[in-house]
Amino acid sequence: MSDTFDIKNVFEQTKELYGNLIQSVDFNDTYLRYSLIWVAFNPIFWNIVARLEYNTHFLTKIAGSAKAGCYTLAVIIFTLGIGRDHMFNLALQNQETSPFLQIDILQKVGYTAIVIGQILVLSSMYQLGITGTYLGDYFGILMKDRVTSFPFNVSNNPMYQGSTLSFLGISLIKAKPAGLIVALAVQFMYDIALQFEEPFTAKIYANRDKLENEKKNL
């Protein structure tokens, strides 16, 4: 009986905690809405543009070369990322701070999440370079071999996971439940993006390997 009571008590406390966190979020705040829109827009944008480039080479034609086109897209994506992060910070300024998140252990988790997140992001950029990071394969700029060293030996998508961890860490440090909502949205959109990106990227490299094998057999 005591075990049953304890389980029920934990469930009720957890339910109350989630309820309090959700209730403290002002979903009518304009900045929060813009932040969520920006979070959704960015991966949708770069996937559409990258597919158009692959099929039409329009950025390559405009920029004059595949590399210049990729660098152009990189600047656009990077700028959009800055805009998204800025809107996120504006949204948090208007949101309520939760006392449930203002505990020492969660603050430490927040700082740890940011450190790990930034290590994943920066190390993956170092390993891939600009063209590898910013969809160079859609421009025909392919890597010779798949990168398997850190951080790719601990994560298949370190850039995305690192970004999500950074959003989570900032939200915990500032004790903003609204930030947790945005962090969840970031991960959700990345998960959707990967459903399109991973199969298409695999197709690009499979086509490359097929052509190379055909040349060897000639």
Judge whether 158 and 96 are in contact, CB under 8 Å: no
Q: Residue 61 above 50 pLDDT?
A: yes
The predicted structure's pLDDT at residue 210: 87
Q: Judge whether 205 and 142 are in contact, CB under 8 Å.
A: yes
Under 8 Å between Cβ of 128 and 135: no
pLDDT at position 144 is: 87
Q: Is 117 within any annotated ligand binding site?
A: yes
pTM: 0.89
Q: Is 39 annotated as a binding residue?
A: no
Residue-wise pLDDT tens digits, 163-184: 999 999 999 999 999 999 999 9
Residue 179 annotated as binding?
Answer: no
Question: What mean pLDDT, rounded, does the chain reach?
Answer: 91
Q: What is the pLDDT of residue 6?
A: 65
Q: Which residue has the higher pLDDT, 130 or 5?
A: 130
| 197 labeled part of a ligand binding site | yes
